[in-house]
Amino acid sequence: MTGQTKTQEFNQFFISNYDMLLGFAKSINVKNDYESLLHDCYIKCHKRIDLSGYSGNTYLNFMRVTITNTYKTAYRDRKPMVAISTHGEDSVLSGGDNRLQSWNAKAEAKLLDDYEYELYRQEYDREMSFYNTMVYAYVNKYFDARDNMIFKTYYVLKSKHLNYKQLAAATNLSMTSVSNCIKHIKKSLRNNLMCYLNTGMNKMELQALLNKVQAILLTDPRQNKQNYRETYQQVFEKPWNGCSCNTEPMRQALRAWYDKNKDNLN
Task: Write down the pLDDT at residue 138.
Answer: 92
Kindly tell me if the per-residue pLDDT of 10 is higher than 70.
Answer: yes
Count Cβ atoms below 10 Å from residue 68 Cβ, excluding itself: 19
Residue 253 domain-assigned?
yes
Mean pLDDT across 75-94: 49
Mean pLDDT across 61-71: 85
Which residues, 6+ apart, have CB-to-CB distance to 112 below 8 Å?
A: none
Kindly tell me if the per-residue pLDDT of 83 is higher than 50.
Answer: no
Residue 169 domain-assigned?
no
Identify the residue with better confidence: 44 or 33: 44
Kindly tell me if the per-residue pLDDT of 88 is higher than 60.
Answer: no
The span from the CA of 58 to the CA of 197, in Å, is: 8
In the chain, the number of structural domains is 1
Domain of residue 228 covers 203-265
The answer to whether 6 and 12 have CB atoms below 8 angstroms apart is no
To the nearest 5 percent, what fractions of the chain are helix, strand and coil? 75, 0, 25
pLDDT in tens, 129-185: 777 888 888 999 999 999 999 998 888 887 677 888 999 998 999 999 999 999 999
Residue 114 domain-assigned?
no
pLDDT in tens, 115-130: 666 666 676 667 777 7
Residue 260 domain-assigned?
yes
Task: Write down the pLDDT at residue 24.
Answer: 82
Side chain identity at 142, as an amino acid letter? Y
Mean pLDDT of the chain: 80
Task: Write down the pLDDT at residue 180.
Answer: 95
Residue 148 domain-assigned?
no
Q: How far is CA 99 from the centre of its chain?
A: 48
Residue 226 domain-assigned?
yes
Residue 258 domain-assigned?
yes
Which residues, 6+ apart, have CB-to-CB distance to 158 below 8 Å?
A: none
Identify the residue with better confidence: 142 or 98: 142
Residue 232 domain-assigned?
yes
Lowest mean pLDDT among 6-20, 86-100, 116-130, 177-191: 86-100
Kindly tell me if the per-residue pLDDT of 4 is higher than 60.
Answer: no
Mean pLDDT across 37-50: 86
